[in-house]
Amino acid sequence: HSCSCLPSAAPERQKCQGDSGTDAALPEWMLTLEFGDPPGTGGQSGGTWSGRDCTGPRLVCVFGTCGVLTGLLASLEGTEAQQTTLYPLVGRVFVHTLDHATFLRLPEHVAVPPTVSITYHAHLQGHPDLPRWLRYTQRSPRHPGFLYGSATPEDRGRQIIEVTAYNRVSFDTTRQRLVLVIGDPEGPLLPYQAEFLVCSHDVEEVLPSTPASRFLMALGGLWEPGELQLLNITSALDRGGRVPLPIEGRKEGVYIKVGSASPFSTCLKMVASPDSHARCAQGQPPLLSCYDTLAPHFRVDWCNVTLVDKSVPEPADEVSTPGDGILEHDPFFCPPTEAPDRDFLADALVTLLVPLLVALLLTLLLAYVMCCRREGRLKRDLATSDIQMVHHCTIHGNAEELRQMAASREVPRPLSTLPMFNVRTGERLPPRVDSAQVPLILDQH
């Protein structure tokens, strides 16, 4: 049998003819599989197979997965990503809030449900991650996300950020495209820059416009009158800070960089002076001569204040001329002398042949001493006197005779060898047992 999918001309359903000729309406997302007589078998009776009649057994299968995938593809094709154009400035802080209401597309009078959980994934178009100057943070799926950072002069131009929102409740997916047109800021330069470590806030609490404006207003009491602008906001965790313990009141901390066209106040200069840093190193409070207008809303670590003065232009670096890489006039560099080519064949032959020749000479000398310098038995006997020879032969003969006597035991044993013979009195008592016949070890008999 064969299997076929019967598409319907109507967009809302698919039709499948039965044996009785009635139409069974199926939803669009259902897939109908029919098993019948294939074409070419003659069509033994009047069922259907791809629009033709046949009477074979038929099985209708509905797959929900096919419908879900079809609907998902249709929804993705039908929806286009929202596009928003933003204009960040070089050297100024840029903050964009990823709000749940924007991605849910709710009307203005409808509030976002509190149970909605949405997470975001942002990346540069054509790249897996964000550009180096841009960061993303989100405290939890129930809180909004933030894209923040400070563009550098190398980042001028047009960048496209693609943001994908995932609804963790309904599993909906929404895309948004952010077109960032990065340009130069207008107005006076801000050569006087100060960076403060705020220990009482997390980075998500400072990124909204209200806390940032409140910080600038509070800082205005410590600085000379003038326009203060935020240059950069960085989490303390990105600067090597530690994650705080889950205790109430503990925050991660955030670095806030502020710039102004007005010079630093005397109070700020005293806080950033070497004397103040020396007191901080000893565990003493810093030199703060003015009233802390940032407290109690912002708890600033005054031992960690950095002042940068760019009003004085830095001296231009001398253009270095590339050389050939040889240090001729350096007293600490001793170039190697030119060594002529040498032939090491003679050295190799001497190293190998001299030990071999010495070993060969020693072998010949040892062979001469052992083979050619032997005296021989005849020469040794002629050089020995007759008396010495007779004595030597007598010793050997007596020893042989004693061995024969001990073997035969036919000669009476001397009295001194008897076990019961008394040397002092000369008495001889018959032994009860001949000890000569008793083995030394009883287990041997």
pLDDT band at 440 (very low <50, low <70, confident <90, very high): low
Q: Can you give the pLDDT at residue 372?
A: 82
Average pLDDT of the chain to the nearest whole number: 77
Higher pLDDT, 376 or 388: 388
Q: Report pLDDT digits (tens) over 238-253.
A: 998 888 888 888 899 9
Q: How far is 249 from 201, CA to CA, in rounded Å?
A: 9
Q: Can you give the pLDDT at residue 47?
A: 39
Best CA proximity match to 17, nearest among 62, 41, 49, 64:
49
Q: Can you give the pLDDT at residue 81?
A: 73
Mean pLDDT of 373-392: 79
The least confident of 93-107, 160-174, 221-235, 318-332 is 318-332
Q: Can you give the pLDDT at residue 27?
A: 43
For residue 110 the two structure tokens come to: 């409808």
Q: Report pLDDT digits (tens) over 18-47.
A: 444 444 444 444 433 344 444 444 444 443
Domains and CATH numbers, the chain: 1-78 (no CATH), 80-87+96-144+151-182 (2.60.40), 192-309 (no CATH)
Sheet holding 118-124, edge to edge: 82-86, 173-182, 157-167, 118-124
Mean pLDDT of 227-231: 90
Higher pLDDT, 147 or 397: 147
Task: Transcribe 212-238 into DSSP letters.
Answer: HHHHHHHHTTTS-SS-EEEEEEEEGGG
Q: Can you give the pLDDT at residue 314?
A: 72
Counting every residue, how long is the chain? Answer: 445
Q: Can you give the pLDDT at residue 95?
A: 95
Q: Report pLDDT digits (tens) over 406-432.
A: 777 665 666 666 666 565 666 655 555
141 Cβ partners below 8 Å, 6+ apart?
117, 118, 119, 168
Q: Can you give the pLDDT at residue 201?
A: 92
pLDDT at 294 over 60: yes
pLDDT band at 443 (very low <50, low <70, confident <90, very high): low
Q: Can you give the pLDDT at residue 233?
A: 95
Q: Can you give the pLDDT at residue 35?
A: 40
The least confident of 57-71, 172-186, 375-389, 405-419 is 57-71
The least confident of 118-122, 253-257, 429-433 is 429-433
Task: Supply the Cα-derived Rg of the chain in whole angstroms.
Answer: 55
Higher pLDDT, 217 or 54: 217
Q: Can you give the pLDDT at residue 175?
A: 93
Q: Can you give the pLDDT at residue 6?
A: 38
The least confident of 74-78, 143-147, 373-377, 420-424 is 74-78
Most confident of 175-179, 282-286, 428-432, 435-439: 175-179
pLDDT band at 435 (very low <50, low <70, confident <90, very high): low
Q: How far is 120 from 124, CA to CA, in rounded Å?
A: 14
Higher pLDDT, 273 or 331: 273
For residue 340, what are the CA distances in angstroms to 74, 333, 334, 337, 343?
Answer: 81, 22, 18, 10, 10
8 Å CB contact between 158 and 195 = no
